[in-house]
Amino acid sequence: MVKIGIIREGKSPQDTRVPLSPSQCKHLLKEYSGQIDIIVQGSPIRCYTDEEYRNEGIKVVEDVSSADVLLGVKEVPIEQLIPNKSYFFFSHTIKMQEYNRNLMQALIKNNIRMIDYELLTYADGKRVIGFGYFAGVVGAHNGILTYGKKTGLFDLKPAHKVSNLEILTKEYRKLTLPNIKIVLTGSGRVAAGFLRIMEELEIKNVEPEDFLRLKFDYPVYTHLKGEKLYTRKDYPHYDRKDFYENPEKYKNLFPNYISETDVLLHGIYWEERIEPMFKKEDIQKESFNIQVIADVTCDINGSIPINIAASSIDKPVYGIAKKDFSKQDPFQNTMDIIDVMAVDNLPNELPRDASEHFGESMIRFIIPELLKEESEILNRATICENGKLTKKYEYLHDYAYEV
């Protein structure tokens, strides 16, 4: 039998999401009777109360050290790690993030098997699980909300002020949007979330070529991905496999759109070898028309060079002055300031919806892997175990081991 423990979130600011909802825990206990047991560590802040778990017959405890596998969402504080366990959470270590170096070293020191949700993939590299869909949903909502507040043309409730997605989208029925032009980027779960909000708002999709050359008397969006966003520097061509192997050989085509775009909803994968969406200095050009950027990727000083800091759910937006790139108060109705939305835990604005969505994937794709003697999916996502890095992640050596 595999005993699963759902841990309380300890990172600050606290996250209220869960990897499995109360009803999902109940379903698993019934579906895998005799194979799985589940305990939940008590928490006063998660989006499902302790009582909701108890009502479904799930044990709520303080000490989860009897569990074999511990499920969280965000990084676990070092002092809360239990040695010799298997953990699932988003560790944010694979890019050698300096702020989590001590955590990476502690995972090895405590002989922990670290299975990172972000690294759960099929053999072709496609991700199995994630909160990206609701990051896209909330990111798109925040982008539209920000445009309305900045221009003074309309107002929307923040996502975290309503209880679920259904109530949020009901707000759209009262909304008449101006003739804005929106660009979406990405092709994964985040982009799917963007598209959901475009559909709910009844914003029309247009081809990139028409977006560039035509004027519209209604709101429109275009979706840039792959060959619409990148081309080889030496000749006009895009090959997906070549791009991911040699991204430095490609240039970004988004600068062609900066004069026609009002709102950018950004959700595409980025690493340092990939050209940013535009150069920082481009915002000083008279042709730079973008007023709002919702950067769901939230790579600081990354693909959006004026994303200078992560923002919070309570204060999701900051302004960037075109003149000197300084940080300003948001929602000023002027073209001299660009508003940037860069919340790095967007799904926590709709935590129950996001948790249910995530938990469904856990039930379908991950729990069955836990019950196998050997799982390639789990092995690919294991950063360290038995006190050392796994072979795939040995490139983290200098980052992961204490000197």
CB 136 within 8 A of CB 343: no
How many other C-beta atoms can be found within 10 angstroms of the C-beta atom of residue 398? Answer: 9
- Burial pattern 207-231, b for ≥16 Cβ within 10 A else e, equals ebeebeeeeeeebbbbbbeeebbbb
Q: Where are the domains of the chain?
A: 2-129+351-400, 132-349
Cα gap 386→262, rounded to integer Å = 51
Q: Note the CATH number of domain 2-129+351-400.
A: 3.40.50.720
What is the distance between the alpha carbons of residues 225 and 80, in angstroms, rounded to a whole number?
A: 41
Identify any residues that bridge with 263 across adjacent strands, giving them in sequence order. Answer: 182, 292
CA distance 330 to 90: 30
Give residue for tokens 């247009």.
Answer: 206
Distance of alpha carbon 284 from the chain centroid: 29
Written as one letter, the residue type at 4 is: I
How far is CA 89 from each of CA 196, 207, 300, rounded to the nearest angstrom? 26, 39, 22
Return the pLDDT at 403. 63
Give the global pTM: 0.91
Beta carbons of 118 and 132 less than 8 angstroms apart: no
Does domain 132-349 fall under CATH 3.40.50.720? My reply is yes
76 backbone dihedrals φ, ψ, rounded to 5°? -90, 130
Contact 52, 80 (CB under 8 A): no
User: Do the domains spanning 2-129+351-400 and 132-349 agree at the CATH topology level?
Assistant: yes
- C-beta atoms surrounding 158 within 10 Å: 15
Residue at token pair 């299975």: 115
User: Taking each helix axis from N to C terminus, what angle separates 189-200 and 132-151, rounded to the nearest 10 degrees?
Assistant: 50
Backbone φ and ψ for 23, nearest 5 degrees, come out as -65, -30
Which residues are CB-neighbours of 373 under 8 A, at least 6 positions away?
A: none
The dihedral through the CA atoms of 60, 63, 66, 71 has a sign that is positive
Model pLDDT, residue 153: 96
Query: Which of these, 24, 29, 30, lies nearest to 3 by C-alpha position?
Result: 29
Length of the chain as a residue count: 403
Q: What is the mean pLDDT for each group of 10 consecutive residues in the chain (403 residues)?
A: 96 92 98 96 96 98 98 97 98 92 97 97 91 97 98 96 94 94 95 97 97 97 96 95 95 97 95 94 97 95 95 96 97 97 95 97 97 96 97 96 77
